[in-house]
């Protein structure tokens, strides 16, 4: 990934205004997220869990897939609201789709780690998008979706830390007070490792034209 240059791809031949390109690229990222949480994608990784951890993560995956589907549809609807002549983006973002296609998600840790990568990519991209959008309803939509993605990212970071600590008994909702007192201390700061969100590397932030309809 270090040598990737797609994030700064020129906007030549991309469809429409900057706002439209941002919404189309957001749609493309959401399409990748929907695929990431698909039943066929997550089946092998979830098979490595059992008991409450398995049922909890199955629910999380299903909820995440439903949310991402709704967000994809919302971005598509906003695209044509901004410009009735614009095309909606149905295709997944090519770079992140390639990463998904090449990922080995056969273990719970690998699945959670990749899902976290996708969620951080959406958070970081939408954070940057808020500085570039001019359409107020689009800004409100992107901000709302970013907040939900941030919540999922926090959950995935916590689950990742629990898996690394061999403490899958704590992967359950609700978590009883008796269990809560036994959560490893190293896991506690995992959801929010810094007081301010640390943006990922540039190659994991989708530039507006990178997922636009061409």
pLDDT tops 90 at residue 26: yes
- Whether 2 maps to a domain, the answer reads no
Please count the structural domains in the chain. Answer: 1
Residue 79 covered by a domain: yes
Residue 3 included in any domain = no
pLDDT tier at 9, thresholds 50, 70, 90:
very low
183: exposed, middle or buried (C-beta count within 10 Å: 0-12, 13-18, 19+)? middle
CA distance 11 to 207: 9
- The model's pLDDT over 97-154, given as tens digits with 9 standing for 90+, comes to 999 999 999 999 999 999 999 999 999 999 999 999 999 999 999 999 999 999 999 9
Residue 194 in this model has a pLDDT that exceeds 90: no
Distance CA 194, CA 43 (A): 32
Mean pLDDT over each residue of the chain, to the nearest integer: 90
pLDDT at 1 over 50: no
Residue 44: count of CB within 10 angstroms of its CB: 15
**pLDDT interval class at 200 (50, 70, 90):** confident
Confidence band, pLDDT 50/70/90 cuts, at residue 15: low
SS (H, E, C) the chain: CCCCCHHHCCCCCCCCCHHHHHHHHHHHHHHHHHHHCCHHHHHHHHCCCCHHHHHHHHHHHHHHHHHHHHHHHHHHHHHHHHCCCCCCCCCCCHHHHHHHHHCCCCCHHHHHHHHHHHHHHHHHHHHHHCCCCCCHHHHHHHHHHHHHHHHHHHHHHHHHHHHHCCCHHHCCCCCCHHHHCCCCHHHCCCCCCCCCCCCCCHHHCCCHHHHCCC
Residue 69 belongs to some domain of the structure: yes
Using the predicted structure, report yes or no on whether residue 202 has a pLDDT greater than 90.
no
Identify the domain containing residue 53 by its residue range.
Answer: 12-211
Phi and psi, residue 28, nearest 5°:
-65, -40
Quick check: is 94 in a domain? yes
**0.85 exceeded by pTM:** yes
205 assigned to some structural domain: yes
Q: What pLDDT, in 10s, does the model give residues 154-189?
A: 999 999 999 999 999 999 988 888 888 888 888 888
How far apart, in whole angstroms, are the C-alpha atoms of residue 162 and residue 188? 10
* Per-residue confidence band for 198, with pLDDT thresholds at 50, 70 and 90: confident
pLDDT at 38 over 50: yes
- % residues pLDDT > 90 (the chain): 77
The string of pLDDT tens digits covering residues 54-99 is: 999 999 999 999 999 999 999 999 999 999 999 999 999 999 999 9
Is residue 115 a part of any domain in this protein? yes
Burial of 50: CB neighbours in 10 Å, binned 0-12, 13-18, 19+: exposed
Among 81, 121, 131, 78, residue whose Cα is nearest residue 210: 121
> Would you say residue 176 lies in a domain?
yes
The CATH code of the domain that includes 28 is: 1.20.1260
């Amino acid at each position: 990934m270090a040598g990737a240059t797609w994030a700064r791809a020129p906007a030549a031949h991309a469809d429409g205004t900057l706002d439209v390109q941002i919404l189309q690229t957001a749609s493309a990222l959401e399409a990748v997220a929907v695929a990431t949480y698909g039943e066929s994608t997550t089946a092998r990784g979830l098979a490595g869990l059992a008991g409450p951890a398995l049922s909890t993560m199955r629910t999380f995956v299903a909820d995440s897939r439903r949310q991402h589907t709704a967000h994809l549809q919302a971005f598509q609807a906003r695209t044509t609201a901004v410009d009735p002549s614009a095309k909606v983006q149905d295709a997944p973002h090519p770079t992140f789709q390639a990463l998904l296609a090449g990922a080995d998600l056969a273990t719970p840790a690998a699945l959670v780690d990749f899902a976290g990568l996708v969620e951080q990519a959406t958070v970081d991209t939408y954070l940057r998008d808020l500085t570039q959008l001019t359409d107020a309803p689009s800004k409100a939509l992107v901000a709302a979706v970013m907040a939900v993605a941030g919540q999922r990212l926090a959950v995935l970071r916590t689950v990742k830390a629990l898996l690394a600590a061999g403490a899958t008994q704590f992967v359950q909702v609700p978590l009883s007070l008796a269990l809560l007192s036994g959560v490893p201390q190293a896991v506690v700061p995992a959801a929010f490792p810094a007081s301010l969100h640390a943006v990922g590397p540039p190659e994991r932030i989708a530039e507006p034209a990178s997922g636009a309809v061409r």
